[in-house]
Amino acid sequence: MLEIIHSDEAVLAVNKPTGLLTVPGRGPDKQDCCYHRLLESFPDARVVHRLDMDTSGLILFARSPEAQRTISMQFEKREISKTYMALVEGIIEASEGMVDYPMRKDMEQRLPPKHLIDCIRGKKAITEWKVLNRTASTTRVALFPKTGRSHQLRVHMQALGFPIVGDPIYGTPAARLMLHAQSLELFHPVTGESIRLECPAPF
């Protein structure tokens, strides 16, 4: 069962566990996903955005074609504010900063899919970050993506020299990737009112 964070006539928000696909992949072994599980209770659910399989946290679904178009347009226009929690390897000495490194898919590595920094052919990707606390070997940060590239937060933190703890592609594999979509702010597709949805990180 999925944890329902918010439900009304137009918007659904659930807490996606780490290791679960957002939508089905190719092949019968990749049909279990957040979307298919949600359809069991909400047959009108429609996809509006996705999270990496390894990332946990808030993910939105619409409940009508109109709501789907409205929310999707907000994502396209970058009107939705997103906050992620992450635990990274190493000690970040600065208190906050911004990463502005263009990215593209690594065409030489198909499985698992990988992305990389490319200042010539890459698409614009911006991430703001803020340190929350530090331990002897890790730093807890809040991440604020201003664009929505695949693997953006993972690639950007690795590029800074601080890969996210447990990242099987860009860091050191562990029990889980320590990256969680914690909050979303958007305009309700029916009322137009600003709503904030939150789902605290489990780490």
Task: State the catalytic residues.
Answer: 52
- Show the tokens assigned to 95: 């208190």
Q: Residue 128: in which H helix or E strand, if any?
A: strand 126-134
Q: What is the token pair recorded at 198? A: 């939150």
Rounded Cα–Cα distance for residues 181 and 56 (Å): 6
Beta carbons of 83 and 106 less than 8 angstroms apart: no
Q: What's the rounded Cα separation, in Å, for the pair 167 and 29?
A: 22
Contact 33, 24 (CB under 8 A): yes
Total Cβ atoms within 10 A of residue 59: 26
Nearest CA to 85 among 164, 6, 174? 164
Chain centroid to Cα 53, Å, comes to 9
The helix (H) or strand (E) run that includes residue 167 is none
DSSP state of 51: -
Most distant CA pair in the chain: distance in Å? Answer: 49
